[in-house]
Each structure stands twice: as C-alpha cells, then as structure tokens.
Homo-oligomer: A and B are copies of this chain.
C-alpha cells in the first residue's frame, strides 16, 4: 500500500528539522549515515542537506570543532558561521546581552549595571537597542547573521502577543517591547519572554535535565518550569508565579501584588535580609560564613517556607527536580537542608535539589537559546528567508 504524505510543504519542513537534529546530535555524520538514521531516501537527504549548507546552517567537510576520540574529523556539522541567537535581559538593576551560536557557544557578551526601576521604559529600551546594535555589529564583524532576537523581562508576558502586561519590580505596565525594539533597531523577529522562563531554558541547556523547576530569588521570586525538555508556559504564558502562592494564611504581610502572605513576603531577598538584620546579600553571606545565629535562622526559615511552596508545586505538577538560581544559588549551602526537609515531609517521591551553575547571564543566554531553538525547529523557514534575500 502506498499513501501520499500529508502535504508536501509540511513534510519538507519536518524533514529539514529531522535531518538538522541528527546532524546536531552526531557531528561529523555523513549523508549516507543520515539516510540510514532517519529512514529518508538518500536523494531526499541530499536535497535537504544542500539547502541547509546553502543557508550556512550546516557546514560540510570542515574540520569539526568538537571532534572527540574515535569521531570522524569531517562530514556534516552545525556551522559555527551559521545564524546566531541574540538574547537580552532587562533586569531590575542591569542589562545583559549574549550572542550564541547554533551549538550553544557564547560568541559575545555584555552586562551593564544600572537601576532600571528609576527609568522610563523608553529610556531603558533605547539602551537595549544600543546593546542589540553592538551585538549585531559583533556578529557582522565575525561574518555571521543574527537569526533571531529574544528579550527577557521580569514580568508577565502575554504568550500570543508578546505584550509585557506588567513588571511590578520595574513599575512597568502594558509595554510592547518587540515593537519598541523594532522601531529603534529596524530589526523584526523580536520574541519577548519572562526572565524566569528563559533562565530555565539556559539551565536546561547546561544541565540536560528534561524535567525541573528553576526557582530564583531576586527582588522578586520567579519560577521557570521545564517539562519533557520544553518550557511550560501555561495557557496565557503566565505560569511559574510561585512568588505569589499563599504561605501565611492569616496575618501575613502585604505583597507588592496586592495580596497578603505571598511567598515573596517571607522568602524574597528583602524579607530574608530584614529577618537577618543585614543590608545586602554580601553582608548576609559574610555572616553566614561565620555561622551568625540570626543570619542562619533567617535563611533556614525562608528555606522551610520556600520548600513548602515548592512541595505544593511538585504535588500538583509532579516535577522531580528543583534548581536554585539567582540569590538562592548564592545561599544554597544554607538553604539546601531546610528546603529538602520541607520537601521530604510533603512529597511522596524523592526530589533532587540542585544549585544553578549560571550567574546573572542566565536569562540572556536563555533568550538567545530560544532564538536558536526556533531556527533549529524550522530551519527550512530560515533557509527560505536567506534564499529570498
């Protein structure tokens, strides 16, 4: 029996993604091996590969950058001169930018400090545009294209429109960041995402964990959830608002969100510093390293409550691992035990608690990675854009 494919165009795009995925997974692979691995006809593989090579997504016959023992030194591989992803994070007190190649290597990075809470969106977005232009120039100097731009923000982003609904800790509301950036740079294809989500993408990239929640304590508390190797965004893109889960049912402090007794009011950075009687995270870690009683108790108390809130998330979502990021990564040596104790009391299955290996560059890296993923998932669309130019 012979059955026609479900639409030639769709099949072509799926085949391109399939072939590229195999090339990414087995650098140095030959066309013949690709046909054997994918089950596609050799002629099909050749057509797809030619197109990927023409778009410079794939390089053929070059020495491999990551050749290991026993691997062939040539064949097909992701091109280091292929399209790069450009990621920017608008932090509460910094801007970060990364340029990442198809294999995930960082090709350009810049972080500029500065309190964005005291600045209008238009001022901050002009600085963002400058950063994007600098990274784009760096890409051009290296002879590579920027294939997509991602911007990470500390707020609720509508999944469908990319609109920043509200960023409480910046004091921003209803900002169309993609449009503002496009107006300032002339660059389209700007994807806006939540910083905790994009930091989780970076974590996924580095750890290879398929399922985890990454929770970070900063001015606010954010959670990014990865399930089955994909970001879990929720129906409207607002998932992961762990900071506003109720942890003090009666008599809790008022939160910036308007409710009382949210996790942020007890386990947020400011609450921890207040409970420890210190002014900064540096002061806190200094005291913790000398086993200062109030400092250790403040972090342990926050850890218990954080662990209880995470247990609730795990009981409803069934996620087997937690990654502590941001300030929580800094405090991990003192947070780990109380978090594990609270999880152990409330969750039937074992939960792994890990410390993030990322610094403040996590969300910018995740935003750049997301742009790269979009190309890897549909390389044919990128090849078409290149062919049209």
Q: Are B308 and A246 in contact (CB under 8 A)?
A: yes
Of the stretches A276-284, A314-322, A362-370, the one at the interface is: A314-322
Establish whether residues A235 and B242, one from each chain, have CB atoms under 8 Å apart when the complex forms: no
Q: Which listed residue (B238, B315, B318, B345) contacts A235, Cβ 8 A?
A: B318
Known: A1-B47, A4-B40, A12-B3. A317 touches B318 (CB 8 A): no
Q: Which chain A residues (214-249) contact chain B, with CB distance < 8 Å?
A: 223, 225, 227-228, 232-242, 244-249
By the criterion CB–CB under 8 Å, are B318 and A233 in contact?
A: yes
Compute how far the CA of A311 lies from the CA of B243 in the bound complex, rounded to whole angstroms.
12
What residues on B are CB-neighbors of A316 within 8 Å? 223, 225, 239-242, 245, 312-313, 316-317
Among residues 8 to 41 in chain A, which have CB atoms less than 8 Å away from a CB atom of chain B?
8, 11-12, 14-15, 18, 38-41
Bound: A361/B41 CA distance, A? 51
Tell me, rounded to whole Å, the shortest Cβ–Cβ distance linking A384 to chain B.
12
**Interface size counted on chain A using CB atoms at 8 A:** 66
Within the complex, the shortest CB–CB distance from A189 to chain B, in Å, comes to: 25
**A259 CB-CB contact with B under 8 Å:** yes
Contact with B along A285-320 (1 / 0, CB 8 A): 000000000000000000001001101110111111
Task: Indicate if the CB atoms of B1 and A246 lie closer than 8 Å.
Answer: no
Tell me if A349 counts as interface (CB < 8 A to partner B).
Answer: yes
Residues of B within 8 A of A315 (CB): 241-242, 244-245
In the bound complex, CA of A380 to CA of B18 (Å):
24
In the bound complex, do residue B3 and residue A317 qualify as a contact, i.e. CB atoms below 8 Å apart? Answer: no
Q: Which residues of the partner chain B approach A345 to less than 8 Å between Cβ atoms?
A: 258-260
In the complex, are the beta carbons of A236 and B317 less than 8 A apart?
no
**Which residue on chain B has the smallest CB distance to residue A238?**
B318
Contact of A48 among B3, B235, B317 (CB under 8 A): B3
Most buried by B among A47, A238, A240, A262: A238
- Kindly list chain B residues whose C-beta atoms are within 8 Å of the C-beta of A309: 312
Report the separation of the CA atoms of residues A320 and B235 in the bound assembly, to the nearest whole angstrom.
8
Task: Compute how far the CA of A18 lies from the CA of B228 in the bound complex, rounded to whole angstroms.
Answer: 25
For A61-72 the 0/1 string (1 means CB < 8 A from B) is 000000000000
Q: In whole angstroms, how far apart are the Cα atoms of A4 and B19 in the complex? A: 13
Does A89 count as interface, using CB distance less than 8 angstroms? no
Q: Is A156 an interface residue (CB 8 A)?
A: yes
Q: How far is the CA of A317 from the CA of B315 in the complex (A)?
A: 12
Cα-based distance from A12 to B2 in the complex (angstroms): 8
> How many Å from the CB of A240 to the closest CB on chain B?
6
A257 interface residue per 8 A CB criterion? yes
A308: nearest chain-B partner, CB-CB = B246
Q: Does A348 contact B (CB under 8 A)?
A: yes
Q: A3-B8, A6-B40, A245-B311 are in contact. List 9 more A-B contacts (CB 8 A).
A: A2-B8, A4-B40, A6-B11, A156-B348, A234-B317, A239-B317, A244-B346, A246-B311, A312-B312
